[in-house]
Structure 1
Amino acid sequence: MLNDKFVTFFTELERNNNRDWFNQNRKVYEKECLIPFKELVSELISRISLFDKTVSGQDVNSAIFRINRDIRFSKDKTPYNTELKAAIVKGGRKSLYPGYYLAIGAEKSYIGGGLYNLSSEMLEKIRDYIAEHPEKFKAITTDTTFVECHKMILGDKSKRLPVKYKELANSIPEIALKQFYYMSEVKTSQLINNKNIAETILSRYLAGYKLNYFLQKALSQSV
């Protein structure tokens, strides 16, 4: 279970985001943050596998992102992420497959899923599948539980939408999206010291599962 020491570590990391401080506190990070986070993600993998077999057997290490930031092309040169992140997805965190996302920081956490990185071929397959099953897609986007948890499907919009989708975009504007994901922001205080943390997170994954399944079906011939 994540506790107050997790929050304390990341609060201090936000103030001292440098290698010297981190190296001095590495043992605290590993014991109070990384180990319990791994245990949580491992439990989530097992629990998600009960309703989404695509993540069954995923190695927990393939799900968790490194705390070190990739600063090669960033103006922000602070070396560490100020949250722990995981992608529970077939093929691991770098996979191009619909999955489930978790990020826990000192004050805010994010629970979501769907599909963020798509090739042009994948995007066309998803759009074609939406065009073939518009009512099924509408039912997902208007589902009460989905809307209560995640509000809407997120993603950047194409500046130019292929002609074959333009008419459908009047009734299903999401077809213009280049990503198809959902995300809930929650206060970390809702997760810390919570014996039912897995259930709290899983309820939001379950709310988004119908979209994940729709995307899986759309990509079944290419992924």
Structure 2
Amino acid sequence: MKNIQLKRVFDFIETIEKNNNREWYTDNKSFYLDAKNDFEEFLEFVGNQLEIIDPSFHFTKAKDYTFRIYRDVRFSKNKAPYKNHFGAFLANGGRKSPMAGYYIHLEPGASFIGGGVYRPDKDYLKVIRQEMYYSFKDYEKIVLNDSFKEYFPTLMPDKLKTGPRDFPKDCDAIEWLKYKSFAVGHSISKEEIVSANFAKDVINGFSTLKPMNDFLNNAIIENV
């Protein structure tokens, strides 16, 4: 498998975390652009491999899936102008897609790969819950599978305290219906990220995630 180094990416995010100001960024923009190019080359390789394991996904250009480095500070107490991480969401429609997809997040001390659907809007959440109501046993077979749980031990704990209004509170699927996000993550270390095997590790993780995304996307495609 092709070896694409991400050391320069990690060097950049570690450095900007300590120098998060416009003067430093302007003086070192070439450092950022080199790191960005490395990340996009990595995404292009991963995206093309992802098409093989998930034929429903169609990769376009790396920039369609990557998030901008600039922070929106208008309503934040933290006025640092730049993000201290690189992130990309691989899903049909790009980084803002409402579909279930695959996520890569590189940040000092908080890197992970994962995916699913994070905080879908009400229409998408409704159809996912409807599918869950009728087919939660199929979902359980995926997320409670031993190999899935070994890689993704917990679902994102983003839940209602009680069941949603449109469903009976005593139904068998009620605990799944409480979720507001259907997403998982797997923590990764800097050592893993800069290793020669990282692309292979990411693809293996995404392969484990695929059945969950299939369930969620089938619900969305059939009902929205």
TM-score (norm 1): 0.91
Structure 1 SS opposite 2:167: helix
> Residue 9 of structure 2 aligns with which residue?
6
> Residue 221 of structure 1 aligns with which residue?
222
Distance 1:144 1:12 in 2: 39
Structure 2 SS opposite 1:221: helix
Distance 2:126 2:7 in 1: 45
Alignment CA distance shift 1:61-1:191 (3 Å): same
Distance 2:196 2:125 in 1: 39
Deviation at 1:2, TM superposition (A): 2.7
Moved more, 201-210 or 149-158: 149-158
Q: Which amino acid aligns with 1:215?
A: L
Does the 8 Å contact 1:127/1:175 carry over to 2? yes
Deviation at 1:148, TM superposition (A): 0.9
> Residue 208 of structure 1 aligns with which residue?
209
Deviation at 1:20, TM superposition (A): 0.5
Q: Does 1:60 align with 2:62?
A: yes
Structure 2 SS opposite 1:49: helix
> Residue 85 of structure 2 aligns with which residue?
83
Deviation at 1:55, TM superposition (A): 2.4
Q: Which amino acid aligns with 2:175?
A: P
Does the 8 Å contact 1:131/1:165 carry over to 2? no
Alignment of structure 1 residues 142-221 onto 2, 5 Å:
142-160=144-162, 161-162=164-165, 164-168=167-171, 173-192=175-194, 194-221=195-222
Distance 1:88 1:114 in 2: 10
Q: Which amino acid aligns with 2:94?
A: G
Structure 2 SS opposite 1:166: coil
1:107-159 alpha-carbon deviations (Å, 9 max, x no partner): 43110000013122211211111121122111112111211111122152124
Moved more, 49-58 or 33-42: 49-58
Deviation at 1:27, TM superposition (A): 0.5
Alignment CA distance shift 1:48-1:29 (3 Å): same
Deviation at 1:198, TM superposition (A): 1.1
Match of 2:96 among 94, 97, 106: 94
Work out the percentage of aligned pairs sharing the same amino acid. Answer: 27
Alignment of structure 1 residues 3-152 onto 2, 5 Å:
3-31=6-34, 33-152=35-154
Distance 1:188 1:125 in 2: 38
Distance 2:178 2:109 in 1: 33
Alignment CA distance shift 1:3-1:157 (3 Å): closer
Structure 1 SS opposite 2:116: strand
Deviation at 1:184, TM superposition (A): 1.1
Q: Which amino acid aligns with 1:95?
A: S
Distance 1:152 1:108 in 2: 16
Distance 1:150 1:93 in 2: 22
Query: Structure 2: which 5+ residue stretches go unaligned?
Result: none
Distance 1:63 1:185 in 2: 20
Does the 8 Å contact 1:100/1:114 carry over to 2? yes
Structure 1 SS opposite 2:52: coil
Deviation at 1:172, TM superposition (A): 5.4
